Protein backbone atom coordinates (compact mmCIF):
# COMPACT_ATOMS: atom_id res chain seq x y z
CA UNK A 1 0.00 0.00 0.00
CA UNK A 2 1.48 3.34 -1.00
CA UNK A 3 2.16 5.83 1.77
CA UNK A 4 1.35 9.50 1.99
CA UNK A 5 2.81 11.32 -0.99
CA UNK A 6 3.80 14.96 -0.85
CA UNK A 7 5.00 17.09 -3.73
CA UNK A 8 7.24 18.85 -4.31
CA UNK A 9 9.97 17.65 -1.97
CA UNK A 10 11.83 20.96 -1.98
CA UNK A 11 10.79 24.50 -2.83
CA UNK A 12 12.68 27.79 -2.91
CA UNK A 13 10.63 30.95 -3.09
CA UNK A 14 11.16 34.64 -2.46
CA UNK A 15 9.29 36.90 -0.09
CA UNK A 16 5.89 37.97 -1.34
CA UNK A 17 5.38 34.97 -3.60
CA UNK A 18 2.77 32.33 -3.04
CA UNK A 19 3.16 28.57 -2.96
CA UNK A 20 0.92 25.51 -3.27
CA UNK A 21 1.82 22.18 -1.72
CA UNK A 22 0.16 18.92 -2.59
CA UNK A 23 -0.63 15.81 -0.56
CA UNK A 24 -2.06 12.46 -1.61
CA UNK A 25 -3.19 10.39 1.39
CA UNK A 26 -2.99 6.66 1.85
CA UNK A 27 -5.72 4.95 -0.14
CA UNK A 28 -8.89 4.76 1.95
CA UNK A 29 -7.85 7.55 4.29
CA UNK A 30 -10.33 10.41 4.37
CA UNK A 31 -8.69 12.70 6.90
CA UNK A 32 -5.73 14.87 5.96
CA UNK A 33 -3.86 17.09 8.41
CA UNK A 34 -1.13 19.60 7.76
CA UNK A 35 1.68 20.52 10.13
CA UNK A 36 4.52 23.01 10.05
CA UNK A 37 7.80 21.90 11.60
CA UNK A 38 10.60 24.27 12.55
CA UNK A 39 13.59 23.68 14.83
CA UNK A 40 12.38 26.24 17.33
CA UNK A 41 8.65 25.52 17.47
CA UNK A 42 8.51 21.83 16.65
CA UNK A 43 5.43 20.44 14.96
CA UNK A 44 2.57 22.91 14.85
CA UNK A 45 -0.90 22.07 13.61
CA UNK A 46 -2.16 24.00 10.60
CA UNK A 47 -5.50 22.42 9.71
CA UNK A 48 -7.36 19.18 9.19
CA UNK A 49 -9.73 18.18 6.42
CA UNK A 50 -12.23 15.36 6.34
CA UNK A 51 -14.49 14.67 3.38
CA UNK A 52 -13.64 18.04 1.83
CA UNK A 53 -14.55 19.95 5.02
CA UNK A 54 -12.09 21.79 7.23
CA UNK A 55 -12.70 20.39 10.70
CA UNK A 56 -10.14 22.30 12.68
CA UNK A 57 -7.64 25.06 12.21
CA UNK A 58 -4.50 25.97 14.10
CA UNK A 59 -3.27 29.40 15.10
CA UNK A 60 -1.83 30.52 11.80
CA UNK A 61 -2.64 33.68 9.85
CA UNK A 62 -5.12 33.68 7.01
CA UNK A 63 -2.26 33.54 4.51
CA UNK A 64 -2.29 29.82 5.17
CA UNK A 65 -5.18 28.02 3.56
CA UNK A 66 -6.03 24.60 2.31
CA UNK A 67 -8.60 22.46 0.64
CA UNK A 68 -9.45 18.84 0.09
CA UNK A 69 -10.81 17.29 -3.06
CA UNK A 70 -13.39 14.55 -3.47
CA UNK A 71 -10.63 11.94 -3.90
CA UNK A 72 -9.19 13.03 -0.48
CA UNK A 73 -6.14 14.65 -2.02
CA UNK A 74 -5.32 17.93 -0.34
CA UNK A 75 -3.52 21.12 -1.17
CA UNK A 76 -2.12 23.77 1.07
CA UNK A 77 -1.50 27.33 -0.06
CA UNK A 78 0.59 30.05 1.50
CA UNK A 79 0.24 33.53 0.07
CA UNK A 80 2.54 36.52 0.49
CA UNK A 81 5.41 34.43 1.76
CA UNK A 82 7.52 35.68 4.65
CA UNK A 83 11.00 34.62 5.70
CA UNK A 84 9.50 33.00 8.80
CA UNK A 85 7.47 30.63 6.65
CA UNK A 86 10.63 28.66 5.90
CA UNK A 87 9.91 25.25 7.36
CA UNK A 88 9.19 21.61 6.70
CA UNK A 89 5.52 21.22 5.86
CA UNK A 90 4.18 17.79 6.70
CA UNK A 91 0.98 16.21 5.57
CA UNK A 92 -0.50 13.30 7.48
CA UNK A 93 -3.45 11.09 6.72
CA UNK A 94 -5.70 8.83 8.76
CA UNK A 95 -8.77 6.74 8.11
CA UNK A 96 -10.85 8.99 10.29
CA UNK A 97 -10.27 11.98 12.51
CA UNK A 98 -9.40 10.12 15.70
CA UNK A 99 -7.28 7.45 14.08
CA UNK A 100 -3.51 7.16 13.94
CA UNK A 101 -1.70 9.66 11.75
CA UNK A 102 0.73 8.59 9.04
CA UNK A 103 3.06 11.25 7.71
CA UNK A 104 4.40 11.97 4.26
CA UNK A 105 8.03 12.87 3.60
CA UNK A 106 7.24 16.57 3.74
CA UNK A 107 7.94 19.60 1.61
CA UNK A 108 10.95 21.65 2.66
CA UNK A 109 10.13 25.28 1.89
CA UNK A 110 12.84 27.92 1.89
CA UNK A 111 11.83 31.56 1.60
CA UNK A 112 14.63 33.92 0.56
Positions touching other proteins (CB under 8 A) are 33, 35, 41-43, 45, 48, 55-56, 58, 90, 97-98, 100-106
Closest CB 96 distance from other proteins, rounded Å: 10
Under a CB-based contact definition with an 8 Å cutoff, are residues 54 and 48 in contact? yes
| Beta-strand pair 42-50/87-94 | unpaired
Closest CB 10 distance from other proteins, rounded Å: 12
Under a CB-based contact definition with an 8 Å cutoff, are residues 67 and 49 in contact? yes
Nearer to other proteins, 35 or 64 (CB): 35
Closest CB 19 distance from other proteins, rounded Å: 19
Nearer to other proteins, 76 or 90 (CB): 90
Under a CB-based contact definition with an 8 Å cutoff, are residues 86 and 109 in contact? yes
Greatest CA separation found in the chain?
Answer: 38
Amino acid sequence: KAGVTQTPRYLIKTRGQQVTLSCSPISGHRSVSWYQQTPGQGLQFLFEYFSETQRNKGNFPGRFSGRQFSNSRSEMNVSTLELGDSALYLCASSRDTNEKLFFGSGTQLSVL
